[in-house]
A and B are shown apart, each in its own frame.
Chain A
Amino acid sequence: MSESALDRTARALDLIPYLLEHQGISITELATVFGVTEKQINEDLILIHMCGLPGYTPLELIEMYYEDGFVTVSDPQSLKRPRKMTRSEVAAMLVSLDMMKSLQDTQLVAEIEGLQNKIRNGLQMEIPYVVISDTLTSPFVKVIEVAIMKSQALAIEYLSGSKDERSLRNIAPLELYVANSQIYLVAWCEKSGADRTFRVDRILACSVIEQGSLIPRPKRNQSMVGDNQVVLVVDHAARSFVEENQNIIQSIEQNERGYSAVLYPVDEEWLIRTIIGYGNKIRVEWPPAMAESIQVRVEAISQIYLDI
Chain B
Amino acid sequence: MSDRKTERLINLTLALLATKRYLKKSEILANVAGYEGSPESQDRMFERDKDDLRSLGIDIEVGDLDIFFEDEPGYRIAQNSYELNITELTPRDLALLSVAANYWNGSILAADAQSGIRKLNSLGIPTAFDFDLRIKYKFENPAQHLDILSEAITTRRSVTFSYDSYSLKFRQIDPYRILIWNGYWYLIGFDHDRKDIRIFKLSRMVSDIKLSKKKSVFEIPEEFDAEKYLPTIDLQIQHLAKIRVKKGVGLILRERGKVLQEAEDSDLVEIGYENEATFLREILWNGTNVEIIEPINLRELLVSTLNEFVL
B15 to chain A, nearest CB (A): 6
Interface residues of A (CB under 8 A from B): 1, 3-6, 8-10, 12-14, 17-18, 20-22, 33-35, 47-48, 50-56, 62, 77-79, 81-93, 95-100, 103-104, 108, 111-112, 115, 118-119, 121, 126, 128-132, 134, 136, 141-142, 144-146, 148-149, 159, 161, 164-166, 175-181, 183-184, 202, 236-237, 239, 243, 246, 254, 273-274, 276-280, 294-295, 297-298, 300-305, 308
Main SS of the interface on chain A? helix
11 contacts between A and B (CB under 8 A): A6-B55, A13-B10, A18-B121, A20-B122, A82-B120, A83-B58, A84-B57, A93-B113, A96-B97, A144-B134, A298-B309
Q: Would you call B14 and A51 a contact (CB within 8 A)? A: yes
A239 nearest CB neighbor, chain B only? B164
- Tell me the bound Cα distance from A143 to B52 in angstroms: 51
| B283 to chain A: closest residue by CB | A277
Binds A, one of B62-70, B147-155, B208-216: B147-155
Shortest C-beta distance, A50 to chain B (Å), equals 6
Measured between beta carbons, the chain A residues less than 8 angstroms from B177 are 128-130
- On B, residues with C-beta under 8 Å from A are 2-3, 5-7, 9-11, 13-15, 17-18, 31-33, 52-53, 55-58, 79, 81-87, 89, 93, 96-97, 99-101, 103-104, 109-124, 131-141, 149-150, 153-154, 164, 166, 177-184, 188, 203-204, 206, 226-227, 230, 249-252, 255, 280-289, 291, 299-300, 302-303, 305-311
- Min CB distance B190 to A, Å, is 15
Of B7, B15, B96, B255, which contacts A159 at CB under 8 A? B255
CB distance from A293 to the nearest CB of B (A): 11
Query: Which of B7, B100, B203, B206 is most buried by chain A, counting CB atoms within 10 A of its CB?
Result: B100
Question: In the complex where A12-B6, A78-B18 touch, is A132 in contact with B137 (Cβ < 8 A)?
Answer: no
B89 and A51 contacting across the interface, CB-CB below 8 Å = no
Asked if A294 and B309 make an inter-chain contact with CB atoms under 8 angstroms apart, the answer reads: yes
**Whole-angstrom distance from the CB of A173 to the nearest CB of chain B?**
9
Query: Chain B's nearest CB lies how many Å from the CB of A242?
Result: 9
